[in-house]
Amino acid sequence: MKAKKKAVPRRKAKATGPNWFAFQRRSGGGAAVRDLTDRFGVRQETLSRMTGFSQRAVAEWASGKEPSAPAKKVFVEMDRLLDGLARLMKPKEVGRWLKEPNPAFDDSTPVQVIERGQTDRIWRMLYYAESGEPG
């Protein structure tokens, strides 16, 4: 008869990498998700569409509930993208720009482009706009 091994409690992996800490610090210690909506003029409904998380989850995180590890990763990525856009326009105008049809995206809105998983198209547009290279 084999001896049973003792169960060793496993630690949960946390999304507390350097990017998340910088994101939290920039938000002034408050809810980092609320910081995105305030800083860039993005509504929670739009943020929900961009991240793929439910509106209810986004609202809970905006009110201070700790996001899950996968959500933290997505919000760090969204923060980077919105920061990039804010280099081209006033930060508060980003939310409006995200919802306007854009000929560069075949008259889709940038939010629709993100929902389809084509965020690289927005990054490419940012690159060409900032570098001055013809695109």
Length of the chain: 135
Q: What is the pLDDT of residue 49?
A: 96
DSSP conformational letter for 30: S
Query: Does the pLDDT of residue 88 top 90, yes or no?
Result: yes
Average pLDDT, the chain: 83
Q: What is the pLDDT of residue 123?
A: 96
Mean pLDDT of 16-32: 49
Mean pLDDT of 2-6: 55
Q: Which residues neighbour 129 within 8 Å (Cβ) at sequence distance 6 or greater?
A: 88, 135
* Residue 2: band (very low, low, confident or very high) from pLDDT cuts 50, 70, 90: low
pTM, rounded to two decimals: 0.76
Query: Does the pLDDT of residue 51 top 70, yes or no?
Result: yes
Give me the phi and psi of 102, to 5 degrees please: -130, 125
* Residue 3: band (very low, low, confident or very high) from pLDDT cuts 50, 70, 90: low
Q: What is the pLDDT of residue 11?
A: 42
Task: Give percent of the chain with pLDDT exceeding 90.
Answer: 61
